Chains A and B, each alone.
Chain A
């Protein structure tokens, strides 16, 4: 907690250093309070847990620092309303017996959707970061929800998308109010990972120190549509399950799988080759050739039934049974520094079995540290609902403009 406060104070201090330098960027500081309804989207928050307690609501507060590029800069011309920065927030749940009260640290980016009047605008903002301080489950392999005392890990990913009305009180201050949807999850790196979804109502105050530049409309006159090629390599770790009854199904008899958690974690590695047609500075689309290797995929058929399901052993499958090649359609929202890439794909080669076959979805945040190199943080969902794996890596954009 002390570290988080120290980081927040450091960011605030850094902001004051830049506050008077209006030729570079313009700054904003937002203070907000939130009240939330916790969506009953998983058993744990619905009260199916060791404590028998439901988690229905939450409250929170956040402090965010962000900046906008100068209108004279390229980013300022292309994205005049965009702002990006970092934030720190805290969330208190009712009841917090199963959840704890985590603290969130995140990067953020927002922009204007529409100008409703001279003072009133409709904006959006996304947050992506880490939520720390969740209550960790103490039971090694719970068989029933009533045995679960917490979540799979102290740390979860925090993803938030919000829409808000921004009413300018004067040149430096504005009021914001809106709704946000947050998702907390450990990306299937540990169990249990039911995912917590929260619908917020938010009210805040924005302070913009220093002289504010005059807002201009986007200027894309010097932008040429073009194609780029993003090559991303990523890795992660994940939990996996196996069916100890695999192969014991008898024709004509209802088959009952007997699922068990596999101890330990499995490595995941992938490569995406994604040509993108850049229609304009904000929007690109393309297709991606995706390769993924999952160390723990399709293990049920390799289970040694001489070992106990609680301490299983598996014969190492061939490489081809743990890999997948797929094709996906991608769209990308591009803003300064960050791009959000969303894809829907299907396997075209997955010889190992059902674990890596079928539809998959990807959600990736690209953070460009140079014109060509970006950090990639994403998540892969399987068949539109099954948890997949995180995707943490780096990418290179060929023919970046």
Chain B
């Protein structure tokens, strides 16, 4: 009986060795990717993407919100982060999956975060919706300008005829003529920051929040704060400037000649250093953003008289 058991045991061991030595190299474990949630938001700040397979890695991750698309290439383990002006999502890759942590997403519409997991044979994409955890409200604390120094752009010359009056029959007798103030004149302005990588600065200066802007002073100093305002924009924006240069003195017009009298306005292209202090809604902390206000503003009126 004992001999029988020994013989059978030896046979089973041999068979096991036989099977154990067989063809394991060609088999790959199916890659499976499954998230424990399909969305992140104020009620669900963390997610875990479970990955089962062999030799898997994250080939890419991306974040998309409106016109914003951010892509990260191959992630070979370790941590990752998406940090923009209104969103912060981070996480790290562990042995059996990917942890996703939503820190904050300030917007009105949902965003999307996506990941592609691969083992070199299968590529499995997965994406999650990201719902806003709050609104992106910027609180501006202070705006200040350096009014004593500015940069000029002399190559940019804009002189335009604002008003024109024609005396085609000529005047009956010599007279003195003066123009009325037009009340307001169009100009162009925009803000920009040298901190191109500062997402908050970019978001702040393009927020559309109305801030005071300096006006051309016509005095010993050229700029003063007299209550003019404009929305923060980073692209060239048309605006009506209500603070205008001093009107020219009345001009003497001779009699008997056909005349054209024009009110000319000279514009200057200038840049003034600016500092905007505001609360970053993502961090809750006040930050000062150094920037430049570029303006093409009316700076001088002249009267021009020409014979017709």
Contacts and interface: CB of A to CB of B under 8 A. Distances in A.
Interface of A: 233-237, 262-267, 269, 295-296, 304, 306-307, 312-316, 370, 372-373, 393-394, 396
Contacts of B26: 262-264, 312-314
Interface in B9-30: 11-12, 14-15, 18-23, 25-30
A266 B18 contact: no
Nearest to A236: B18
B15 A295 contact: no
21 contacts: A233-B15, A235-B15, A236-B18, A262-B23, A263-B23, A263-B25, A264-B22, A264-B25, A265-B22, A266-B22, A267-B19, A267-B20, A295-B23, A296-B23, A313-B26, A313-B27, A314-B27, A315-B29, A370-B4, A393-B15, A394-B7
B135 interface: no
B181 to A, nearest CB: 76
Nearest to B11: A394
A267 B27 contact: no
A145 B228 CA distance: 93
Nearest to A372: B4
Given A265-B22, A315-B29, A370-B4, 15 more contacts: A233-B15, A235-B18, A237-B22, A263-B23, A263-B25, A266-B23, A267-B23, A295-B23, A304-B122, A313-B27, A373-B7, A373-B8, A393-B11, A394-B8, A396-B8
B23 A306 contact: no
A313 B15 CA distance: 25
Nearest to A264: B23
Question: Most chain-A Cβ atoms within 10 A of its Cβ — which of B4, B12, B23?
Answer: B23
Contact of A304 (B20, B23, B121): B121
A267 B21 contact: yes
A339 B26 CA distance: 39
A295 B28 contact: no
A304 B28 CA distance: 9
B23 A269 contact: no
B12 A396 contact: no
A373 B7 CA distance: 9
Nearest to B18: A235
Contacts of A263: 23, 25-26
A235 B14 contact: yes
B122 to A, nearest CB: 7
B182 interface: no
B12 A237 contact: no
Contacts of A295: 19, 22-23
Ranked nearest first, the 7 interchain pairs of A and B with the lowest CB-CB distance are A267-B22, A267-B19, A235-B15, A264-B23, A306-B121, A394-B11, A316-B27
Nearest to A317: B27
Given A304-B122, A314-B27, A316-B27, A235 B8 contact: no
B174 interface: no
A262 to B, nearest CB: 6
B121 A313 contact: yes
Contacts of A394: 7-8, 11
A319 to B, nearest CB: 12
A265 B25 CA distance: 10
Interface residues of B, number: 23
A156 B53 CA distance: 40
A309 to B, nearest CB: 12
Contact of B28 (A234, A237, A262, A314): A314
Contacts of A296: 23
B13 to A, nearest CB: 11
B124 to A, nearest CB: 12
Contacts of A262: 23, 26
Contacts of A235: 14-15, 18-19
A296 B14 CA distance: 19
A373 B4 CA distance: 7
B11 A233 contact: yes
Nearest to B12: A233
Nearest to B7: A373
A314 B25 CA distance: 10
Contacts of B8: 373, 394, 396
B23 A265 contact: yes
Given A295-B22, A304-B121, A307-B121, A269 B15 contact: yes
A269 B20 CA distance: 11
Task: Report which residue of B3, B20, B26 has the largest number of chain A beta carbons within 10 angstroms of its beta carbon.
Answer: B26
A316 B22 contact: no
Interface in B22-50: 22-23, 25-30
B120 interface: yes
B64 to A, nearest CB: 27
B116 to A, nearest CB: 14
A372 B1 CA distance: 10
B120 A237 contact: no
Contact of A315 (B21, B25, B30): B30
B130 to A, nearest CB: 31
Contacts of A237: 18, 22
B194 to A, nearest CB: 47
Contacts of A269: 15, 18-19
A316 B28 contact: yes
Contacts of A266: 22-23
A370 B30 CA distance: 47
Given A295-B23, A313-B28, A315-B30, A306 B120 contact: yes
A262 B27 CA distance: 11
A178 B4 CA distance: 41
A352 to B, nearest CB: 15
A318 B26 CA distance: 15
A396 B122 CA distance: 47
Contacts of B4: 370, 372-373, 396
A235 B10 CA distance: 13
Contacts of B12: 233
A400 to B, nearest CB: 12
A297 to B, nearest CB: 12
A295 B21 CA distance: 11
Nearest to A262: B26
Contacts of B11: 233, 393-394
